[in-house]
Chains A and B, each alone.
Chain A
Amino acid sequence: MKKYILLFAITFSLGNTIHAQWSKGKGNGYYKLSAWYLQYDQHYTDTGAIDPNATRTQFNTNIYAEYGITDKIDILAYVPFVAVSSQNNQISGTNGGVIQPGESVTSFGDVDLGINYGFYKKGKWAASVKLILGLPTGEDAGGSDGSYQNGDGEFNQYLSTHLGYSTSLGDLPFYAKSYLGYNNRTEGFSDEFRTGLEAGINVFDSKLWIITRLNVVKSFNNGTLSAVNSNGSIFANNIEFSSFGFEAAYYITKKLGVSLGFDSAFDGKIIAASPSFSGGIFLDIK
């Protein structure tokens, strides 16, 4: 289950850069320090129904960086330098005794490195292709039973294409973008199809971006990994979800800003049925 939570986090973090399909331009960059938090006591099962579970918490602090090495090519990195996976103590409501002590595992998380190529830009339209390599640098079997995970233990390659359109609604800058992607996973995990939509509007004298997004992940169910594992480390195989989210990014200065975000799955299989929250500060060098 932890892997799909990480996927959840990464999907929103990497898609969470305004105008991402527009290349930064040579020498420009976008850098963000943020924290991401998810606490869930229920999850979507393999049938899509919602079942309870012991309260688990996932939290990470990460740095996201995107830098234009040419006018069309950006390199990017997502580094969760602190990742925490924990479960609550299970306490008897009858006699107050500890049925099962909680645990918490803190480690480095899975790193993503990638490259974005803006191959088309004309007028209000822009398109790019992005390759992200997911490195298994996080803990994938922590805790006393190996189910506390801050990484998925597999190397994946995610290729996506993005199309964006920028315009104005009245005097307010507006953009919309979409993407299609294929995530090739290893170590027996099923490959995934990913798609999504995002729209943003700039208000308050260009200081505030209000963004809404929709993400969909579908499994090809072509992996060999099943749930027959004592530590549940492969619970997250064949995950699917549809989620919506909101984000507000406020520019304190022309370059420095803060952001707050919210994302939640409204449909899914084998994924947490609770919203996640994120907040951070960013530096946008244009």
Chain B
Amino acid sequence: MKQLSILLLSIFLLQSCVQDDIINDRVDASFSITNPITEITLNDTFQLTTKYTDNVGKTVTTNITWSSSNEMIATVSNSGLVTAVAQGQATIMASIVSEEGETITDEIVVTVTMDQVDNNTTQEKTGTIRTTSSYVLEGTFTLREIPNTNNLELVINDNYRASSSLPGLYIYLTNNPNTVNNAKEIEAVRVFNGAHTYIIEDTGINDFSHILYWCKPFSVKVGEAEIQ
């Protein structure tokens, strides 16, 4: 009877098996001007945009300090609106103070010209997928803006290979390649060989820095790619 009691007590205690896994999800805080320009037509304006992500890759709104090295050439407002004043060159700088008290700065060098400059072009980025596990996962991709929409097209190229034994495989966009926290889920992976395309809605091309392949049932990364 004593043995039975011990067994039943063990059963009762083991009913709650949920404990904590501590995840190493730290990344460097990052701040950048996401739509840099190199030229602007005299008297034109251009709205610069920025992105600040904290030490877990979460996009955070923060106060930005804008400045111009030569306001006789180009000025910049407190909201990042650049105005071309006179021909010449100026450095436009943006800076923030991170949550950890670190000052992070990004800058662009802009030339004001008489030429007609079109800065409203669609952007395109590329990258290489690499496995971070022992499962096969490789290939290259192109990420491009779809004109006249807020959507992106992610084209995985024909050199793509993935193990079909990968369970519950999903693809994400993220600023922290160690976790899907704060990431944007694209969809479940259904193609394991060859070229295919994903349409990602309501997403800017500079919103995320990485593509992440994630095994959802077991909460573990199996591959990643930096968007360059």
Contacts and interface: CB of A to CB of B under 8 A. Distances in A.
A210 to B, nearest CB: 19
Given A45-B135, A90-B219, A55 B24 contact: no
A88 to B, nearest CB: 4
B165 interface: yes
B188 interface: yes
Most chain B CB within a 10 A radius of its CB, from A37, A54, A99, A226: A99
A224 interface: no
A133 to B, nearest CB: 26
A230 B168 contact: yes
A94 B56 contact: yes
Contact of A145 (B22, B25, B181, B217): B217
Given A51-B135, A228-B190, A94 B167 contact: no
Interface string A62-92: 0000000000000000000010101111111
A72 B42 CA distance: 100
Contact of B219 (A1, A54, A82): A54
Contacts of B167: 1, 227, 229, 232, 234-235
B11 A35 contact: yes
Given A45-B133, A100-B219, A147-B168, A93 B10 contact: no
Interface in B98-141: 133-135
B168 A46 contact: no
Contacts of A270: 165
Nearest to B222: A51
Contact of A45 (B23, B134, B168, B169): B134
* Interface class of chain B by DSSP: loop
Contact of A227 (B11, B20, B26, B166): B166
Interface residues of A, number: 59
B192 interface: yes
B202 interface: no
Contact of A91 (B10, B23, B168): B23
B219 A53 contact: yes
B38 interface: no
Contacts of A39: 17
Interface in B15-72: 15-26, 55-56
A238 B164 CA distance: 12
Contacts of B161: none
Contacts of B190: 228
Given A41-B21, A92-B23, A145 B216 contact: yes
Interface in A185-238: 226-232, 234-235, 238
Given A53-B215, A59-B17, A106-B15, A94 B220 contact: no
B26 A53 contact: no
A281 interface: yes
B19 A88 contact: yes
B7 A280 contact: yes
Size class of the contact patch on chain B = 35 or more
B220 A54 contact: yes
B18 A102 contact: yes
A130 B26 CA distance: 55
A57 interface: yes
A229 B190 CA distance: 8
Given A53-B215, A84-B15, A106-B15, A227 B56 contact: no
A258 interface: yes
Contacts of A231: 168, 216-217
B23 A230 contact: no
A56 B169 CA distance: 18
Contacts of A226: 164-165
Given A99-B179, A281-B7, A1 B218 contact: yes
25 contacts: A1-B217, A33-B4, A35-B11, A43-B218, A45-B134, A47-B134, A51-B133, A53-B220, A54-B218, A55-B19, A55-B21, A59-B17, A84-B17, A86-B18, A89-B18, A90-B179, A93-B25, A94-B56, A104-B18, A228-B190, A230-B168, A232-B168, A232-B215, A232-B216, A279-B7
Interface of B: 3-4, 7, 10-11, 14-26, 55-56, 133-135, 163-170, 179-181, 188-190, 192, 215-220, 222
Given A43-B218, A55-B19, A86-B17, 10 more contacts: A35-B11, A47-B135, A55-B21, A92-B179, A94-B25, A102-B20, A145-B216, A145-B217, A228-B164, A230-B168
